Structure 1
């Protein structure tokens, strides 16, 4: 059978963290780091996965459950492709990626979406990018057991270079927002890796579920912040999680407006406040990332924040292009364990 190829980008979320599974807005953007999959369909139900950076090949089957192996997302994606009628059986896969694993830049979502896009090509199907994104989320939720929202999948399935995607995760309506040409959104890896399957992400999801019950609505991002403080009989941890979601949703709306009128100081302030909320109310930051964010701002970034699910990974900083080189050199000198990953601008 003929081999087909699909490439999808990594993504950075400029603002709007942990809102995507709580009925809120997000503002991700596609990066130049990317993942490419070569897929050759098979008649049987075998799955053979070869990936750069991993020795040998993984030999799996479509009938197997997730085993916490690096090939699990590939198996889950192929199972979903069969359910969608895009493939009849398994496949041989070759994976090449410049997206750092554990960075919070959606390497898992990129892999799943790339496989589904390759299967779409193989089947000559007209299934939409949004439908593939929804299928990719099913793989994460149901096969891998990661209770993620829809942001990552849409952000890598519907990429537009130089633009952010203002996505309403409740309705899947989205608009493309141009990024300023005079500023770069620079992504720096903290040197501390993360993975969504380590339990802490799931714990935050469960706390948000508790907030839904406590406040009597599913879309806790749409709660009035005053109402969150007014309800007395709520566990303080649950209140803090709801406070972050509601305030972060509003920060995304404000950030979209700031970008529309070119108000970079306002955007930077929103990014800084977002990081503080993730640190204090959602409690997903760690001290080395707090220090990296603080130094990024002190050295001249308009704003900076943790990006991704938290507990490690990357920060994103908004930096004037004419100051970018000096800023980056100074930041990496202070944080030798950190490293430059990528950037996006208009």
Structure 2
């Protein structure tokens, strides 16, 4: 026996600025994308979970008690397990997924999937659990079930962000406000052609290095530290460099928020450019091919560009005047034949 099918959706997200600081006490500035995914969830009375997705030819047959196995269906299984723990469903579920978010793009496909499933389970149960709590529970799935030591940014963005706005999010308090995006500039997302998985270990290694820096300074909030104090400290590299990125990136996010509010696109672009340099040199999460893509994006006329997402592949985000968007994009993709246009905000 099974219950009534329910439907839910969640967007992908792009982070304009504020990378790897959502688990270090910083502000971030993500925005919802027009691409996303839709989920149909049918509760089951037994403990079976089936997962079908438009990106895969086979249906995954899993169980409510199964551990993560680095299978593509893990986010869905973890989400169903969490929904069961929250008593939003009584057993397993049949899940059907339709997604337009590229895998390994750094645009939060896993967060969107988990959030959408939890929202579908909420609808099935008639629960009043808030979107913020959905985001918190979705993060638990990634942290505890999938073993990805991510912060809260992705889940908050795909659970609460509104199209046409960026979310200024305090990742410590979860206080957030929406900031209008510029009307005469586009926020453009271009995939580098290089994919990565957050479970491949490099994301976790970077978080571990941040944890070492936290222990050295005796704080959970690297972003609150004075960058000059970090630069002159006796903390060894690479830990000092990781902390320096966090403290300076947090300040760049604040500058970017002010720039958006005042319509100062040059200041926004400068903050994005400086962010990429910090990710490249201090956090060491970029790749030469992505550095070249970012450099050409700016050289061809973008006001600012940077790597976005967890790093080691995925997408760049750029801010470009709408009246030169098409020519700029054609030139950029002409130079980087492995790259592809994902979308614009």
TM-score range, shorter chain: over 0.9
Residue 216 (structure 1) shift:
1.1
Where does residue 337 of structure 1 map in the other structure? Answer: 338
Deviations 1:217-258 (Å, cap 9, x if unpaired)?
1100110111102322x1121000000000000000010000
Where does residue 223 of structure 1 map in the other structure? Answer: 225
Where does residue 211 of structure 2 map in the other structure? Answer: 209
The alignment partner of 1:315 has SS state of strand
The question of 1:167 aligning with 2:169 is answered yes
Where does residue 249 of structure 2 map in the other structure? Answer: 248
The alignment partner of 1:236 has SS state of coil
Matches within 5 A, 1:273-284: 273-284=274-285
Residue 286 (structure 1) shift:
0.1
Unaligned runs of 5+ in 1: none
The question of 1:308 aligning with 2:284 is answered no
Query: CA–CA distance in 1 between the matches of 2:236 and 2:301?
Result: 39
Aligned length: 343
Unaligned runs of 5+ in 2: none
Where does residue 299 of structure 1 map in the other structure? Answer: 300
The alignment partner of 1:95 has SS state of strand
Where does residue 151 of structure 1 map in the other structure? Answer: 153
Where does residue 87 of structure 1 map in the other structure? Answer: 89
Matches within 5 A, 1:4-19: 4-19=6-21
Query: CA–CA distance in 2 between the matches of 1:268 and 1:226?
Result: 24
Normalised TM-score (structure 1):
0.99
Where does residue 322 of structure 2 map in the other structure? Answer: 321
Query: CA–CA distance in 1 between the matches of 2:67 and 2:47?
Result: 13
Normalised TM-score (structure 2):
0.99
The alignment partner of 2:238 has SS state of helix
Query: CA–CA distance in 2 between the matches of 1:141 and 1:53?
Result: 24
Where does residue 183 of structure 1 map in the other structure? Answer: 185
Of 124, 127, 130, the match for 1:128: 130
Of 37, 40, 45, the match for 1:38: 40
Query: CA–CA distance in 2 between the matches of 1:7 and 1:290?
Result: 33
Query: CA–CA distance in 2 between the matches of 1:53 and 1:149?
Result: 26
Deviations 1:132-171 (Å, cap 9, x if unpaired)?
0000000000000000000000000002010000000000
Where does residue 193 of structure 1 map in the other structure? Answer: 195
Deviations 1:201-224 (Å, cap 9, x if unpaired)?
000000000000111111001101
Where does residue 55 of structure 2 map in the other structure? Answer: 53
Query: CA–CA distance in 2 between the matches of 1:316 and 1:155?
Result: 16
The alignment partner of 1:85 has SS state of coil
Query: CA–CA distance in 2 between the matches of 1:13 and 1:79?
Result: 28
Structure 1 stretches of at least 4 aligned residues deviating more than 4 Å after TM superposition? none
Where does residue 65 of structure 1 map in the other structure? Answer: 67
Where does residue 116 of structure 1 map in the other structure? Answer: 118
The alignment partner of 2:97 has SS state of strand
